[in-house]
Amino acid sequence: MKLVFVNHCHPDTPHVCATRQREFAKACAGAGHQVVLLTETLPGQPSNTTPTTLPAALDRHDWRAPFRLACAPATGRLIAAAREGRLVAPLRKLLIAAEYLTRGGLFTDWRDASRPYWEVLARAFRPDAVWASFGNTDVWAIGQGIARLAGCPWIMDVKDPWSVFIPVLFRKILAARFADCAGATALSAGHADDARRWFAHVPTVVYSGIDESFLPVPPLAPIQARRLLIVGALYDQRHLATLMDGIERWCRGGEEIVYAGGESERFLAAARRFADRVRLKAPGFVSLDNLRVLAAGSAVILYVRNPNALYQHKLIELLAMDRPVFCLPGESAESHSIAQSLGGRLISCDGADELAAGLDREIAAAPPAIDRARLASYTWSAQSRRLLDVLKGRA
């Protein structure tokens, strides 16, 4: 098939917002399909081709990999200032409301910049289907526009929950603008449940995958029984404070607390209260390979949950490291079901005492052994087959 994928974040963006579409584009291309991945450019970068040169670029592309089409947003737009919080609150709210009502989105500067490419893609590439991943409504508007010109179906992907990302006054109005989609996918069952409140289609759950490198049993390493590994974004300050309270109550002195994520300064500030009794390490964002090495020598893995996200796809990566995984606040029933099916141990905590007691209990127990055969169903290639079934069924 010839497929157009639409995502806001450029595939080289060092953030999870880029991961889902980038990896599924690679997996689908690896399965023999021709995939164009349309995104915004990295900040400050120009578009990587023009509408005039796009047909020739498509003709000479090696389709064993996705074709990256990055469109630079128009500059000097007032809405950019509103998105970034650079306007006074009353004006910002008024402008955002006006943009949603009149144009249906907040990233219309990027949508407008991509528009000259739509007809070129429809004519020169002739896609069989378009898959657009919601992080903002302009992604869907672009996917919808390309599909209409190409006379092909477009499928909405619910990567972020509509009820969280769209202001309450505009949820029903904006949902009606995308009622012509041919089908839907969702990041999780929780995302699918939320989408059914607003859209007619019952989404197919297509989980974001894990790399094939997670399938072998993790490397053997001496476990440091008093080393904790904290992973990822830290989110709500109250939850972070509770996490630190629990660790402080668990500490006896001499422990090693490692934070692997992009908020090192915030972590070190939160852990200052017991810094004189433990060894703190904050290497920042680390590669998956390095994360696995850190996990192999740690007793447990912890992360702060963002309840508004409904589901965080890093969970399966963490479970694959064969260590007990703690989260705070408590995880969803869906996440616990996944952990149980894999033979992992996911421990939800809502309070500091609960966390401290759980750490003592889990460190004294033998580490879990994940069912690697079941784990294989969560790879990008395995999940891409579910995605392709949806796209083929609508094309």
DSSP string covering 76-112: S-HHHHHHTT-S-HHHHHHHHHHHHHHHS-S-HHHHH
The Cα–Cα gap between 84 and 256 comes to 38
For residue 222, the model assigns a pLDDT of 60
Give the neighbor-by-neighbor strand order of the sheet with 279-281: 279-281, 256-260, 224-231, 298-304, 325-328, 346-348
Residue 356's region, left for phi above 0, alpha for psi from -120 to 50, else beta, is alpha
Distances (CA, A) of 67 to 55, 63, 380: 12, 7, 18
Window from 49-63, 153-167, 289-303 with minimum mean pLDDT: 289-303
Whether 20 contacts 49, CB under 8 Å: no
Query: 84 pLDDT exceeds 90?
Result: no
The SS3 assignment for 299 reads strand
Instruction: Flag whether the pTM goes above 0.85.
Output: yes
Query: 47 pLDDT exceeds 70?
Result: yes
Query: 83 pLDDT exceeds 90?
Result: no
If you average pLDDT over residues 267-272, what whole number do you get?
A: 96
Angle (CA) 179-129-119 rounded to 5° is 90
List domains and CATH numbers for the chain: 2-209+379-394 (3.40.50.2000), 212-376 (3.40.50.2000)
Residues in the chain: 395
Query: 114: which residues sit within 8 A by CB, 6+ positions away?
Result: 38, 71, 142
For 288-346, what is each residue's pLDDT tens digit? Answer: 888 888 998 899 999 999 999 899 989 999 999 999 999 999 999 999 999 999 999 99
pLDDT > 90 in the chain, percent: 81
For residue 195, the model assigns a pLDDT of 97
| Residue 304 DSSP one-character state | E
Residue at token pair 């806001």: 8
For residue 94, the model assigns a pLDDT of 81
The gap between the terminal CA atoms of the chain, to the nearest Å, is 9
Q: What is the mean pLDDT of the chain?
A: 93
For residue 76, the model assigns a pLDDT of 58
The Cα–Cα gap between 36 and 74 comes to 22
The Cα–Cα gap between 125 and 55 comes to 8
Window from 69-73, 87-91, 107-111, 140-144 with minimum mean pLDDT: 87-91
pLDDT > 70 in the chain, percent: 97
Query: 395 pLDDT exceeds 70?
Result: no
The candidate with the shortest Cα–Cα distance to 3, out of 121, 156, 114, 116, is: 121
Highest mean pLDDT among 9-18, 80-89, 118-127: 118-127
- Give the side-chain half-sphere CA count within 13 A for 193: 6
Which pLDDT band holds residue 217 (cuts at 50, 70, 90)? Answer: confident
Which pLDDT band holds residue 96 (cuts at 50, 70, 90)? Answer: confident
Residue 225: its H or E element: strand 224-231
Query: 379 pLDDT exceeds 80?
Result: yes
Q: Is the model more confident about 75 or about 388? A: 388
